[in-house]
Amino acid sequence: MTLFLLGVIGAVLAATLYNGGIAFQALEARETSPSRALRPSLLAGLAVQRRWLLGTLLVTAGWVLQAAALLVTPLTVVQPILAVGLVLLLVVGTRLLHERVGPREITAVAAICAGLVALTIAAPAHTLTRASAGALAIGLVALGTAALLPYLLGGLGRRPGVSVVLGAGLAYAWCGITTKLVADAAGRGDWGIAGLWVLATAMAAGVGLLSEMTALQTRPATRVAPVVLVVDIIVAVGFAGALVGERWDQTALGGAVLLGGVVLLTGGAAVLASSPAVAAAGHPEAAQPAGEH
């Protein structure tokens, strides 16, 4: 088995752990006061709950597998694959919670599978990040600022609205990119730089988690999850092409197969994330906004 395929398997396992962990985290988020929205006290209160801590442990394990996958597999492939974990949630929702599966879910799973095959056979060559330090800094600062927009709006006394959902997706995309930088530094044996990127990733993950937990307090998971997922994948994959140096034009049909794979997997994942069956399994008690229970 090639290192590339091992990386793909690692990414699939990471996706499974991520989705399982988020399910536990969402259970606790729904039970906290909306007055803590976008406040560190929200995470402080969640951090003493066993279910939330278990979810965080699973998410952390998923991140380690993601970083390991990025040592041998391009970011263009790993980031979309993280959506594959939704298929597991669909199985849980249908087998254990007896949620109905219709043509929409079946089509979404087929699209995800087709997209995964396309990404696997048309992946660009694995490369170290090639952008200059200045270009990388500008890109990350711009992305980080956009992810912090809900907090800036809150500081100005304005309601963040949908920006809190978009901000979560942007923060997670930031994490995906910096996880790639962690893998690059580790691959070079530069553990000091790798450690700094781990800290940066942890801080961005905290921002994304706080934004997502805030969104889940007042919005159904069927509306939050698809947006967060699509923003995360599109931004991270776009960054991979623009600054990481992963050459799409050197893949099958000049990148057309790869683009088709990303579209299929992202679109299928977005549809699947909006399914009540997946919401019931991945975000228990979150299929309805808090005020509708």
Q: Which pLDDT value is given to residue 170?
A: 96
pLDDT at 26: 66
Query: Is the predicted pLDDT of residue 284 greater than 60, yes or no?
Result: no
The whole domain housing 106 covers 3-292
pLDDT of residue 14: 94
pTM of the predicted structure, to 2 decimals: 0.82
pLDDT band at 288; cut points 50, 70, 90: very low
CB 26 within 8 A of CB 46: no
- The tens digit of pLDDT for each residue in 135-193 reads 899 999 999 999 999 988 887 878 777 899 999 999 999 999 999 999 999 999 999 99
Report pLDDT for 39: 67
Number of domains in the chain: 1
Give the tokens for residue 158.
């304005």
Mean pLDDT along residues 65-77: 93
- Is residue 89 scored above 90 in pLDDT? no
pLDDT computed for residue 37 by the predictor: 57
Q: Which of 15-24, 51-60, 76-85, 178-187 has the highest mean pLDDT?
A: 178-187
- Smallest Cα–Cα separation from 221: which of 46, 23, 80, 40? 23
User: 290: pLDDT confidence band, cut at 50, 70 and 90?
Assistant: very low
Nearest CA to 176 out of 3, 14, 6, 13 is that of: 14
- The confidence score (pLDDT) of residue 13 equals 93
pLDDT on residue 203: 93
The pLDDT value given to residue 253: 87
Longest dimension (CA), the chain: 55
* pLDDT at 10 > cutoff 90: yes
When pLDDT is averaged across residues 21-30 and rounded to a whole number, the result is: 69
Residue 293 has pLDDT above 80, yes or no: no
pLDDT tens digits for range 245-270: 788 888 888 889 999 999 999 999 99
Instruction: Give yes or no for residue 36 having a pLDDT over 70.
Output: no
| 209 vs 212: CA distance, rounded Å | 5
User: 177: Cβ–Cβ under 8 A, 6 or more apart, which residues?
Assistant: 75, 140, 143, 236, 239, 240, 244
- The three state secondary structure string of the chain is CCHHHHHHHHHHHHHHHHHHHHHHHHHHHCCCCHHHCCCHHHHHHHCCCHHHHHHHHHHHHHHHHHHHHHCCCCHHHHHHHHHHHHHHHHHHHHHCCCCCCCHHHHHHHHHHHHHHHHHHHCCCCCCCCCCCHHHHHHHHHHHHHHHCHHHHHHHCCCCCCCHHHHHHHHHHHHHHHHHHHHHHHHHHCCHHHHHHHHHHHHHHHHHHHHHHHHHHHHCCHHHHHHHHHHHHHHHHHHHHHHHHCCCHHHCHHHHHHHHHHHHHHHHHHHHHHCCHHHHHHHCCCCCCCHHHC
Round to whole Å and give the CA distance between 265 and 269.
Answer: 6
Taking CA atoms, 191 is separated from 67, 212, 236, in Å, by: 14, 31, 24
Q: What percent of the chain has pLDDT over 90?
A: 40
**How high is the pLDDT of residue 9?**
93
